[in-house]
Amino acid sequence: MPDNQYKSLLPLRQVVGDNGLLSRHGFSKKLGQNFLLDLDITRRIAKIAAPLKGCTVIEIGPGPGGLTRAILELEPDKVFAIEKDSKCIDALAELVKLSEGVLSIVEGDALKTNFQSLVDGSMKIIANLPYNIGTQLLINWLHNLSNISSLTLMFQKEVALRITAEHGNKDYGRLSVLCQYLCDVTLVFDLPPHVFKPAPKVFSSVIHLVPKKLEKKDLDLVPFIEKMTGAAFGQRRKMLRVSLKSVFPEGDLNKAFETLNIAPTERAENLSVEQFVSLAQFLSSLDSIPRG
């Protein structure tokens, strides 16, 4: 953000105080409000998504605007920040004014927002997500990645570990397979509870996801992969030949295990993303199995 343009901004702590965002009645636990008031930290997060020049950025839940300020410093063309809490929106008024048209606040629920309708070209998503809706938002984006060029997202550490876990790990599951099939995924750094106001009970982590360039036929496989991983991890202690029987005919499964050299006695946790994809490709190619 060009120095002079934002010189008159009040310190974040004062913005939070003046708007009563951390007062007993002001702060909303239900909205997952754990604010970052240290600009060194928000700059570290925004820089992961750099460069932002020439880009449109979507931010979910700008709150008092700590991460928004860091995003604006990197001079994107446009930032749409979606916020549900009107008190936070009031707190952002000065930043909107000084941004001279770059920052627009969209008041509403991010779960109900049609992101594609806000942006013509591609967008980068950057957010310190409200924890209660973070996973759902990520899954929604994964189903509609066509104009998303990257996602830089703060989650509870436990969710971040589920996203990035490799097979053979206890955190590995449906979310790991879906995210890693569709995106290159990196856990960039962890943050301790005390850097947030108010402090949550658990550590948080920033994840960076870059969608892979997949063809339509690969994307068409997604519902099939979801159906398979839903069944396999829904009964994760069972052998695959048992857990997958609920969604695929036994004969087709046996053919797939044999052709792909996968032990039918294996458990979901031990199957790599590539193996899940091969299984999905093989089974979806059989006439006896409806796609999706």
Size of the site for ligand SAM (CB under 6 A): 23
| Strand ranges for 3-43 from DSSP E | 35-36
Q: Copy the structure tokens of residue 197.
A: 């106001």
To ligand SAM, the closest distance from the beta carbon of 144 in angstroms equals 17
Which of 1, 16, 36, 46 forms a contact with ligand SAM (CB under 6 A)? 36
**Residue facing ligand SAM at closest CB distance:** 61
The CA–CA distances, whole Å, from 21 to 60, 91, 98, 191, 216 equal 17, 9, 21, 22, 45
Choose between 35 and 141: whose C-beta lies nearer to ligand SAM: 35
Choose between 33 and 284: whose C-beta lies nearer to ligand SAM: 33
Query: Stretches 62-70, 184-192, 244-252, 264-272: which one binds ligand SAM (CB under 6 A)?
Result: 62-70
Query: Stretches 63-71, 160-168, 180-188, 221-229: which one binds ligand SAM (CB under 6 A)?
Result: 63-71
* DSSP structure string for 51-87: --BT-EEEEE--TTSHHHHHHHHT-BSEEEEEE--HH
State yes or no: residue 62 binds ligand SAM (CB under 6 A): yes
- Please say whether the beta carbons of 191 and 41 come within 8 A: yes
178-217: which residues touch ligand SAM (CB under 6 A)?
none
Which of 111, 199, 202, 260 forms a contact with ligand SAM (CB under 6 A)? 111
CB-side neighbour CA atoms (13 Å) of 118: 23
To ligand SAM, the closest distance from the beta carbon of 141 in angstroms equals 14
Contacts with 3 (C-beta within 8 Å, 6 or more apart), sequence order = none
Which of 109, 184, 190, 250 forms a contact with ligand SAM (CB under 6 A)? 109
Contacts by 251-258 with C-beta closer than 8 Å and gap 24+? 252/283, 252/286, 252/288, 252/289, 253/283, 255/282, 255/286, 256/282, 256/283
Residues engaged in binding ligand SAM (CB under 6 A): 31-36, 60-63, 66-67, 82-85, 88, 109-111, 128, 130, 133
